[in-house]
Structure 1
Amino acid sequence: MPRYLISFNDGAMDHIPAEEIADVAKASHAVVQEAVNAGVWVYGGGLERQRASVVATDGVVTDGPYPETKEVIGGFSVVDVATREEALAWAARIAASCRCAQEVRELLPDPEQDAMLRQAARRG
């Protein structure tokens, strides 16, 4: 099945009062548990609010993000669902729980990586 990246920009949750963050966390964890129970959850998490480091092909490290980048990812989820419509439905649930809009993008398939993951699961 296709995998989808569901993400939101850093700062997208800044409008939430500090006293409501615990409620948001509880609601978002509930949606994650629903996705786990449905068998579609792959991975996800929030990102620390910090500048990224950019590593060039020659190994040189510079402060990021790239100069032309105006927004960076603040958090993400990866779901494994049959259709884009299903991914959009999960994104809507995540958006409601996190109280911020979500971007949805299909990840490119990688049959070699999928085979490695299946092999690791059989060993594990």
Structure 2
Amino acid sequence: MAKYLISFPSAAMVVPNGELEAVGRDAHAVIEEAKAAGVYIFGGGIDESVPPVLISANGSVAKGGYPWAPRLDGGFTVLDLPSREEAVAWAARIAKACRCDQELRVFGFDPQS
């Protein structure tokens, strides 16, 4: 089994007027199915109302994240699945529910964490 990160940036989620409630309902239904199947690890979204800070190795704190990196926002789900094919199938279900494309990556899980 491998852990897969399924995610999307905030800008990708463009919900037509009047569909936000249905998107929420559909997305939560897929997550409940993942939980029932025993493959759900965790998920959520970046709280974009709280700006990031960058903590250096010496402990100093600076406003903002890495200036050279793309902004990190949006939502994500981590699932524990037996194959990439199954991960693609779950990502497709999430994409359909959220009405936006999803990126799929293998999540480098550290079993000692």
TM category, shorter: 0.7 to 0.9
Q: Where does structure 1 lack aligned partners over 5 or more consecutive residues?
A: 114-124
1:39 maps onto 2:33 in alignment: no
Contact 1:53–1:62, Cα closer than 8 Å, also in 2: yes
| 1: CA distance, partners of 2:43 / 2:74 | 11
**Distance in 2 between the 1:71 and 1:84 partners?**
27
For 2:16, the equivalent position in structure 1 comes to 17
Identity %: 46
Of 72-81 and 45-54, more deviation after overlay is shown by 45-54
1:104 alignment counterpart: 104
2:63 aligned residue = 63
SS state at 1:29 partner:
helix
Q: How many residues align?
A: 112
Q: Distance in 2 between matches of 1:111 and 1:82?
A: 17
Q: Which amino acid aligns with 1:22?
A: E
Relative to its length, the structure with more helix (as a share) is 1
Tell me what 2:75 maps to: 75
Q: Any gaps of 5 or more consecutive residues in structure 2?
A: none
* TM-score normalised to structure 1 length: 0.80
Inter-partner Cα distance in structure 2 for 1:18 and 1:53: 34
- CA RMSD across the alignment: 1.6
Note if contact 1:2-1:82 (Cα within 8 Å) is conserved in structure 2. yes
Deviations 1:45-97 (A, max 9, x none): 12222432222222222222322223423110000001111111111111111
Aligned to 2:47: 48
Task: Quickly say closer, same or farther: Cα 1:19–1:30, change in 2 above 3 A.
Answer: same
SS in 2 for 1:106: strand
